Structure 1
Amino acid sequence: MRVLVTGPSGFVGSRLLQVLASDNSLEVIAAARRESFDRPVAVRLQTGCELSSSMDWAPHLVGVGVVVHTAARVHVMNDTAADPLDAFRAVNVDGTLRLAEQAASAGVHRFVFISSVKVNGEGTTKNSAYSPDLAPAPLDPYGVSKMEAEAGLKEIAQRTGMEVVIIRPVLVYGPGVKANFLKMMQWLDKGVPLPFGSIQNSRSLVALENLVDLIVLCTKHPNAANQTFMVSDGEDLSTSALLRKMATALNKPARLIPLPAWFLHVGARVVGKTDLSQRLCGSLRVDISKTRSLLGWNPPVSLETALKETAVHFQESRKR
C-alpha cells in the first residue's frame, strides 16, 4: 500500500515516517515543501507541497491508498499575524480541505487527520474529561481552525465515500520535544527552584511513540473509519507529579516550592502569562475509552519509560 505523509519534517511526522518505513509492505511518500530534512532511505520525497487553496496535489496522489495529514499551522504563543484566525484558516482549513478533495478524487481510500484537543476546549475540571462525542468548544483561532477542518472533512467523507479518521492529541512529548516541555527539562536540569510544589491539577499527556502507534493503527483498522479518537498515555498526573517524575528521569532533584495555585494565577496575570498559568495549574483530561474499546488499542509505552527516553535524548543532545 502507498501512504502519503504530510508534515514529514515535524515532530510527529518525522517519527511517523521512520515507523512506516520499517514496514516492508508499505511504500511511503513524504510530501514536503523542500528537501532540507532527514528521512529514511526507503521514503520517497515529493517537494513543493504547500497547504493552500490552490495547491495541485494530483501528481503526488497517484496510486496513494492512505493519506496521513500531520502538517498544520501550529498553535504559537503571542501570535503576530494581523488576523490569526484568517492565517490559521488559510492553512488548516483551506489547505487541508483542498488536499482531502483531491485525495478523494484520486481514489484515496482513507484520510487520517491529526487534529487537536483544542477542538474540545482549553481545560476540564480535575474530575471530568473530554471525549470525542462532546460538542466542540474551541476558544482560540487554532482550535477553531481545527474544528472547521474536521467539519469539512466529515462532509467530504459523506459526499465522496473516502474514509476519514480524526485523532485529537493532547500535549505530545518525547525525544526532541520543544517549547514549554523543553523549558521544564532545562529548569530541572539546572536545579532551578520552581513554584509548583502544591499544584494538584490533573492533565493528560501523550508520548510521541504512543501517538505514532495509534496513527499507524488508524491507517488500517476497519473500525477506525469515519471515527474521532482522543489519545493519551492513559495516566493523568498533576504538574507537581510530572516535574518530580521528570526530575527522576534526569537524575536531578526536584526543587519545588509549595506556592498556592491562586498566587501563581495572580502573578501570571500581572506579567501577561495567563495562558501559561492555565497550562501549568489548570486541568485538562481526555477519555480514551472509545479508542481502547473500538480499536483494541492500549498505549504501548509507559509514561515513566517515555519520560526516561525524553530525558536521555535531552542530556545526550547537550553533549554534542
Structure 2
Amino acid sequence: MNVLVTGATGFLGWRTLEVLVRDPDIKQILATGRTVRPTHRIHHEKVTYITGDLQDKTFVKSLFKDTNAIVNAAALSSPWGDAHVFNSANVNTQNNLIEASKKHNIKKFVFISSPSVYFEYKDKYNVKEEDPLPKRLVNQYAVTKRKAEVLLMNSGLPYIILRPRAIVGRGDTVIMPRLIRAFDEGRLKIIGDGRNVASLTSVENIANAILLSLRAQKPAINEIYNISNGEPVVLWDAISNVLNQLDKKAPTQKVPFRIAKCFAQFLELKSRLTNKAEPTLTKYGVGTLAMSLTLDISKAQNLLGYQPKVTTGEALDEFVKWHKAHGI
C-alpha cells in the first residue's frame, strides 16, 4: 500500500507517520504540508516529503501518481476566523483531494474530522456518532469540517471519517501550549466550577486508529467514528497536572461561566469592529473550558478494533517532557 498523508508536517500528521512506517504492508508514504519543521519531521526510507498548497489543483494532482490510499489530516483549526478562509482551507481542499482520488481510483480515503460538530453550550456525555447534530454549529471550523464530511460521504469513494477529541501528547503545539501561554500571560482562570469532564485523545492512539482505518474492510468502511482515550478526565485536573509538572502554580481563581462568556462576546464584537484579529478569549474557548463533553467510542472498538493503548496521564507526561526539551 502506498499512502498519501496530508497535514503530515503538523502535530497529528507527524506522529501518524511514526506509526505508519512501522507497518510492513505500507511500502511508501508521500507526506505533504506547507512547511517542514525540524521538530515535526520523520527521517525514514519510506517517507518522501513534498511541500505545497492543497488549494492548488495542479499540486494536488501531482500527489496521486502511485497512491492507493489517502489520509487527509490537513486543516485550518482555529476558534476564530472568516468563513471564506475556513471554506478555502477545509472545504475546497477536501474537494480537490476527492476529485483527484476519483480519477486515480483511490481504495481508501481516511478523513480526520472533529467532534466540535457536537459542541453546544451545555454538558454532553457519551455522545454517539448517530446523535443529532446541533441545528447551528458552534463556529466556522465546525461548519467547514461538517461540510468536508458530507462531501466525502457523497463522493462514492470508500471512506472512513474519524472524530478525535482533544489530541494531546508529544509534539502538541495547540491545546496545551495555548493554555500555558495564557497562564504565563496571567490570563488563565478556572471557568465554571472546575469539575467539568472531557474526553481527551493521545496522539498515538489516534495515529493507531488511522492505521486501523487504512486496513479496514467491510462493514467498517463508509462510517464515522468517535476516537478518544475512553477514560474521561476532570479537565482542570489534567491542566493543573501539566502546569504543576512545569513548576507553574495551577490557577485556583474561578470565574462563573456566564460572566466569562459575556466577556468573550464583548471581545469578539470588538474584534469584528476593529482589526478582526482573534480575541484573547472566544465564546468557544470559554465553552470548551467550562462544559463537559465525552464521547462514546464503542463503535470504533467494535468495527475498527480500536483500543486505546496510551493513557491520558501518559500522553500528558510525554507532552511535558517534550515541551521542556523544545519549549514550544
Match of 1:228 in 2: 224
Describe the SS at the equivalent of 1:40: coil
Deviates more, 1:291-300 or 1:234-243: 234-243
Describe the SS at the equivalent of 1:306: helix
Q: In 2, are the aligned partners of 1:154 and 1:164 still within 8 Å (CA)? A: yes
Shift of 1:194: 4.4
Q: In 1, are the aligned partners of 2:61 and 2:100 still within 8 Å (CA)? A: yes
**Cα separation, 2, equivalents of 1:166 and 1:132:** 11
**What's the CA shift string for 1:136-174, capped at 9, x where partnerless?**
3322112111111111111112xxxx3110001221111
**Cα separation, 2, equivalents of 1:314 and 1:34:** 21
Match of 1:132 in 2: 129
Describe the SS at the equivalent of 1:129: strand
Q: Tell me if 1:301 matches 2:304.
A: no
Match of 1:22 in 2: 22
Shift of 1:120: 2.5
Describe the SS at the equivalent of 1:113: strand
**What's the CA shift string for 1:6-33, capped at 9, x where partnerless?**
1111111111112212334311111334
Question: So what's the TM-score if we normalise by structure 1?
Answer: 0.84
Match of 2:277 in 1: none
**Cα separation, 2, equivalents of 1:178 and 1:142:** 18
Structure 2 unaligned blocks of 5 or more:
269-280
Q: In 1, are the aligned partners of 2:12 and 2:207 still within 8 Å (CA)? A: yes
1:204 and 1:124, CA in 2 relative to 1: closer, same or farther beyond 3 A? farther
1:189 and 1:300, CA in 2 relative to 1: closer, same or farther beyond 3 A? farther
Shift of 1:78: 3.9
Shift of 1:218: 0.7
From 161, 171, 176, the equivalent of 2:166 is: 171
Q: In 2, are the aligned partners of 1:53 and 1:94 still within 8 Å (CA)? A: no
**What's the CA shift string for 1:48-77, capped at 9, x where partnerless?**
5422273353442123221001112x2324
Shift of 1:188: 6.9
Match of 2:274 in 1: none
**Cα separation, 1, equivalents of 2:236 and 2:36:** 41
Higher strand content, 1 or 2 = 2
Q: In 2, are the aligned partners of 1:202 and 1:285 still within 8 Å (CA)? A: yes
**Cα separation, 2, equivalents of 1:33 and 1:243:** 30
Match of 1:55 in 2: 58
**Cα separation, 2, equivalents of 1:149 and 1:230:** 16
**Cα separation, 2, equivalents of 1:16 and 1:23:** 11
**Cα separation, 2, equivalents of 1:283 and 1:164:** 30
1:124 and 1:300, CA in 2 relative to 1: closer, same or farther beyond 3 A? farther
Describe the SS at the equivalent of 1:47: strand
Shift of 1:2: 0.6
Match of 1:201 in 2: 196
1:109 and 1:201, CA in 2 relative to 1: closer, same or farther beyond 3 A? same
1:189 and 1:175, CA in 2 relative to 1: closer, same or farther beyond 3 A? farther
- The amino acid that maps onto 1:3 is V
Q: In 1, are the aligned partners of 2:120 and 2:138 still within 8 Å (CA)? A: yes
Q: Tell me if 1:153 matches 2:152.
A: yes
CA RMSD of aligned residues (A): 2.9
**Cα separation, 1, equivalents of 2:17 and 2:98:** 20
- The amino acid that maps onto 2:224 is T
Please list, as runs of the form range in 1=range in 2, the aligned pairs for 1:46-195 lying within 5 A after superposition.
47=50, 49-52=52-55, 54-55=57-58, 57-72=60-75, 74-79=76-81, 84-125=82-123, 128-137=125-134, 138-157=137-156, 162-185=157-180, 194-195=189-190
**Cα separation, 2, equivalents of 1:190 and 1:118:** 26
Q: In 2, are the aligned partners of 1:200 and 1:240 still within 8 Å (CA)? A: yes
- The amino acid that maps onto 1:244 is S
- The amino acid that maps onto 1:29 is L
Q: Tell me if 1:213 matches 2:212.
A: no
Match of 2:45 in 1: 42
**Cα separation, 2, equivalents of 1:192 and 1:89:** 31
